[in-house]
Amino acid sequence: MSTGSGTNLTDPITRSEREEKHQEITSNKSDTDDDTNDTLEEQGLTITTTTNTRHLHLSRAEVIPRYNDLLQKVRKVVKLFKRLPTKYDMYLQKYVKEDTGKELSLIVDCRTSWNSLLAMIERFHKLKVCIDKALIDIGSDTTFSDLEWLKIKYLIESLQPFKLAVEAICRRDSTLLTAETTPKFILEKLVTQNTMLSAELSEALRVRIKERRTVVTGILTT
């Protein structure tokens, strides 16, 4: 989809390798976080927008509280493997290499980077078969049901449009028209997903936009 300003929000992502390296660097910065730092602000998602859409972002908060326990469970498993690499991660990497042909580390999200949550669950879901096998090998009581994996998948799909939108409005060539059309792009993507989560995020975004829009902003669409 084009925003009308020459910015394409759906360009194929051909830089996956570079993104993986960046995600792992970001992850390493957050490895020193203690479990006690996992505050309520880190456990869910809220949508914040302003009349300047460059400030559209996701922060960790209250919109999807029923995902809190699942996200905490994901973080617990990620930290288990990352903090004890010799003891546990070798089991995981054995399966990762068999499946992907290379090592791929899990990613810990951090409070200073909203999109690190998406990076964490994208990598986690990508390695779901390997994680399930490794958890069995190390004798962990933690398991993920098919429903939990499905919820993670839905969460990824619902957050990806926000990632594309933020990338678009942060480009040097973005304009007021980009800012005006980007929320519409997000809403369209969420509607097509047709899940309970996407419906909730869509409604939350509509409310936030309505709260922050002024009569003046309507001039942009006339």
pLDDT tens-place string over residues 34-79 = 443 333 333 344 444 443 444 444 444 444 667 889 999 999 999 9
Given the structure tokens 């617990």, which residue do they identify?
A: 76
Measure the CA–CA gap between 124 and 70, rounded to whole angstroms. 12
Instruction: Look at residue 2 and tell me whether its pLDDT is greater than 80.
Output: no
Global pTM reads: 0.66
Supply the Cα-derived Rg of the chain in whole angstroms: 19
Q: Count the neighbouring beta carbons within 10 Å of the beta carbon of residue 86.
A: 6
Task: Give the separation between CA 18 and CA 220, rounded to whole angstroms.
Answer: 37
Which residues in 47-71 are b (16+ Cβ under 10 Å) and which e? bebeeebeebebebbebbeebbebb
Question: Does pLDDT of 220 surpass 70?
Answer: no
Question: What would the pLDDT profile of 133-191 be if each residue is shown by its tens digit?
Answer: 999 999 999 999 999 999 999 999 888 888 888 788 778 887 777 777 788 888 888 88
Query: How confident is the model over 78-116, as pLDDT tens digits?
Result: 999 988 888 888 899 999 999 999 999 999 988 777 678
C-alpha 128 chain-centroid distance: 16
**Three-state secondary structure string covering 65-102:** HHHHHHHHHHHHHHHHHHHCHHHHHHHHHHHHHHHHCC
Given 3-state DSSP classes, what are the helix, strand and coil percentages for the chain, each rounded to the nearest 5?
Answer: 65, 5, 30
Nearest to 98 by CA among 137, 139, 148: 137
Look at the alpha carbons of 137, 139, 141, 142 in this order and tell me if their dihedral is positive or negative: negative
Coil, strand, or helix at residue 8?
strand
When pLDDT is cut at 50, 70 and 90, the band that residue 129 belongs to is: very high
